[in-house]
A = this chain, B = another copy of it.
Amino acid sequence: MSGTPSPPSPTRPSWRSLPIRPVSLQLRAQSAPRLCALSLCFREGAALEILEVVRINLFSPMVLAFVLGILATSLGSDLRFPEELYTGLSIYLLLAIGLKGGVELAETSLASFWAPALMTLALGIGIPLIAYVILRRLGRFEVADAAAIAAHYGSVSAVTFAAVQTFLQAVAIPYEGFMPTLVALLEVPAILVALLVARLATGGGDGWGAVIRELLIGKSILLLLGGLAIGALTGKAGFAQVEPLFVGLFRGALTLFLLEMGMVAARRLRDLRRVGRFLIGFGVLMPLANGLIGIWLGSLAGLSQGGAIVLGTLAASASYIAAPAAVRIALPQANPSYYLTASLGITFPFNLAIGIPLYYALSTLFY
């Protein structure tokens, strides 16, 4: 990838139909002196560019819908999403991510794929270990609680992936088509690593085989991988038949989903006091660190800037579909208040509102 002057822009055709001014492409043209602050150096003009990008992100319908959801629950509104609508939307989103990725994966050469894949696996093993040590040493959490939280931060949030995808589309930065494959790669290992750590530390834990099996056939992995396979097998012509549903409506559906997520996150926010200050800090700083590492590894692996931003966001995101279910079964003694509040109440909103444009800003350090 590094040899080619312009990175592949698989999604570009659909941008053309979008009446969005491709902000950053113009701004990125200038590439000159750098400003340094907090030992981070930015190109001149980058600060302005970043503010514009933050604004685009904050005022997107998705983020605003999330805020509306938080408001609805905080104000005590009787607005409630039927659980079936939530389930239906998440089936749709996971399948749509997979399908679109599969169509593009089919056109990816293995040569450009293996390095990012390895880096992703490294993240999936490294992040939970680092998180576990931090939570035990600095946070003084019990083994089970530390491992449970570590599993969530090592794994990945598919909706955060959808949000960063949408963000990059709005600011017209292309990224590799195989990123959904990395979502699938990153989702499972971290959970297994964290559970293994807990097991080594306590000795207990039966039903280990069942946990691995349930993770691999869990609905989120199954839909992602299934979508990837269908997309790859059916190709562009086949996918065109279902594109109005799986591409046309994607961002609208994401908006509805984030409305509901806002309501869920707001319920978790009520537990903020219970989880303590350390976890609040952890929920903000850990994604920052993970995001930076992800972007760095992405740039090492030869990803385009867009691809590195996505990988950084994936590393920064915390799971709330696969991990909670697996952890509840495998580590029942861990307190769900901790891991649910941290991942849903703190890290998810942080990434959605501030993190994503921030990872964009951080990426300018490497590109």
Contact = CB atoms under 8 A, between A and B. Distances in A.
Contact of A245 (B60, B239, B253): B253
Interface in A245-298: 245-246, 248-249, 251-253, 255-256, 259
A136 interface: no
Interface stretch (A144-152, A196-204, A213-221): A213-221
Contacts of A251: 241-242, 245
A59 B248 contact: no
Instruction: Sort chain A's interface into a size bin.
Output: 35 or more
Given A81-B91, A248-B244, A239 B61 contact: yes
Indicate how many identical chains form the complex.
3
A237 B244 CA distance: 20
Contacts of A77: 217-219, 222
A71 interface: yes
A72 B222 contact: yes
Contact of A71 (B82, B226, B325): B226
A229 interface: yes
B240 A64 contact: no
A255 B242 contact: yes
Interface stretch (A15-23, A30-38, A107-115, A343-351): A15-23
A85 B238 CA distance: 24
Interface of A: 18-21, 59-61, 64-65, 68, 71-72, 75-85, 87-88, 91-92, 95, 99, 166, 169-170, 213-214, 217-219, 222-223, 226, 229-230, 233-246, 248-249, 251-253, 255-256, 259, 325
17 contacts: A18-B240, A19-B236, A19-B240, A59-B233, A60-B241, A61-B230, A61-B239, A61-B242, A64-B229, A71-B222, A72-B222, A77-B222, A78-B214, A78-B217, A78-B219, A82-B87, A242-B251
